[in-house]
Amino acid sequence: MMKIIFFLIFLIPLSFLNLFWFFQFLLFMISGLFLMMFSFNNEQLYISYMFGLDLLSYCLVLLSFWICSLMILASSKIFLEKDFFKLFMFVMIILLISLILAFSSLNLFIFYLFFEISLIPTLLLIIGWGYQPERIEAGMYLLFYTLLVSLPMMISIFYFYKNFYSLEFIMIVLMNYSIDNLLVFLVMIFIFLVKFPMFFVHLWLPKAHVEAPVSGSMILAGIMLKLGGYGLIRVMPLFLKINNSLNSFLIVISMVGGFIVSLVCVRQSDMKSLIAYSSVAHMGMVLAGIMTLNYWGLWGCLIMMLAHGLCSSGLFCLANISYERIHSRSMYLNKGLINIMPSLTLWWFLFSSCNMAAPPSLNLLGEILLMNSLVSYNFYLMIFLSLMSFFSAVYSLYLFAYTQHGSLSLNLFSFNSCYLREYLLLILHYLPLNILVLKSELFSLWV
């Protein structure tokens, strides 16, 4: 584990040189090296002092490496326009280090520390390289939603240490002691519910996504939402007693909220806003799966988090490819793109079908597992699951049909075709999303 962390630390001075593509090559290289560290062993791997990995951490760290490598590939505009690209690389590497340390931490406080640190580079990405003046407001939404709930969690960590004299995750599991204090439960998990984001505390996400540059949207959709799921899975063993009485409440909020957000998606005219709201609907299903506290739910949760990270990130890349040419995210202007970029229409179709959980994508497997988990918890959840599945197809097809078909709304005489770099970017999102399903039983090893 230490070799990975040192590699990333030594990348920091490299980010101040004029080596944008070499920097990206090194990130791809470390992704490959990290992939070779995979082990079928279900126990903690590569433990070094306060850091180590199990299969859950390993999958999310690998996803972090992969999405961050693709972020640089998607952000060539920053390099070509000399838009503070060295600072961009520096912010990127700090963000990557904080995410890796958060996912691989074996200590609750160290996890909390890097969980909070990762907020700052994300904020800099949105405010520094966003497109519209509203990005300041979006950054404030992101900052204050997170800060408001992070301080109570820190106090609950102190309370926990005062009572149990340890913050190690392994000790939490071994003690097998369940806290039945409602207030501690709420302040401990609320930060994860905001990060997910759960319905009612989700308003920062569409705002942040719409104003963020493509790299900011990719990291928000791909990794930042997964921090909430990861943290919730790690602290759940503490609250098994109280969770049995409260989880039905959270599951109902997630499922009803997912249905309402699916309806909100159908009336969006902004492409990025639609994709952001679809993230809220998908992560609502993941939250409900975790709260069922069963084997299927946790397995489905991990697969759905990986699938959503790749699929949502790919859709944001597609929206950005259109935005860079038409200079608008409005679906009323992005019409008839099949006439001028038919090869890109295929990618729109493939990612839209993944978003609506069509085979052979990981999304389908994740939804099947989560449906099993939720229906075994309560049969009546079938109503909301069927509505969410139907409307996910509705808004995905709406996004595809509205942007690709119809007559051209603009006279795009100066429209340039897609670059090879952009096709590579889309392929590198799509292949893992559809090939990982062939060895999906590996993801069940950690449960």
Residue 103 pLDDT class (50, 70, 90 cuts): very high
For residue 236, being part of any structural domain is answered with yes
Distance CA(272)–CA(67), nearest Å, equals: 18
Q: Tell me the Cα Rg of the chain.
A: 21
Query: Does residue 210 belong to any structural domain of this protein?
Result: yes
Q: What is the pLDDT of residues 182-196, one digit of tens each?
A: 888 899 999 999 998
Structure tokens at 287: 């939250």
In a domain, 391, yes or no: yes
Question: pLDDT tens-digit profile of 394-429?
Answer: 999 999 999 999 888 766 655 667 889 999 999 999
Query: What's the rounded mean pLDDT across residues 49-71?
Result: 91
For residue 409, being part of any structural domain is answered with yes
Containing domain of residue 247, as a range?
2-36+46-444
Res 369 pLDDT > 80: yes
- Highest mean pLDDT, choosing among 143-147, 254-258, 404-408, 415-419: 254-258
* Average pLDDT over the chain, rounded to an integer: 90
How large is the average pLDDT for residues 291-298?
Answer: 91
- The answer to whether position 41 is within a domain reads no
User: Is 402 within a domain?
Assistant: yes
Check pLDDT > 70 for residue 68: yes
Average pLDDT for 97-109: 94
Tell me if 328 is assigned to some domain: yes
Looking at the structure of the chain, the number of domains it has is: 1
Q: What pLDDT is stored for residue 374 in this prediction? A: 95
Task: Report the percent of the chain where pLDDT is more than 90.
Answer: 68
Q: Is residue 124 part of a domain?
A: yes
Q: Is a pLDDT exceeding 90 seen at residue 237?
A: no
CB atoms within 10 A of CB 59: 24
Q: Tell me what the mean pLDDT of segment 247-260 comes to.
A: 94
Average of per-residue pLDDT across 267-292: 94
Q: Kindly report, residue by residue over 14-37, the tens digit of the pLDDT.
A: 999 888 999 999 999 999 999 888
* Confidence band, pLDDT 50/70/90 cuts, at residue 132: confident
This prediction's pTM? 0.95
Produce one character per residue of 419-443: b if its CB has 16 or more CB atoms within 10 Å, e if not: eeebeebbebbbebbbebbeeeeeb
In the prediction, which pLDDT does 334 show? 87
The rounded percent of the chain whose pLDDT value lies above 70 is 96
Confidence at residue 411, expressed as pLDDT on a 0 to 100 scale: 65
In this structure, the dihedral spanned by the alpha carbons of residues 117, 146, 224 and 403, taken in order and rounded to 10 degrees, is -140
pLDDT of 57 above 70: yes
153 neighbors 186 (Cβ within 8 angstroms): no
**What pLDDT does 155 receive?**
92
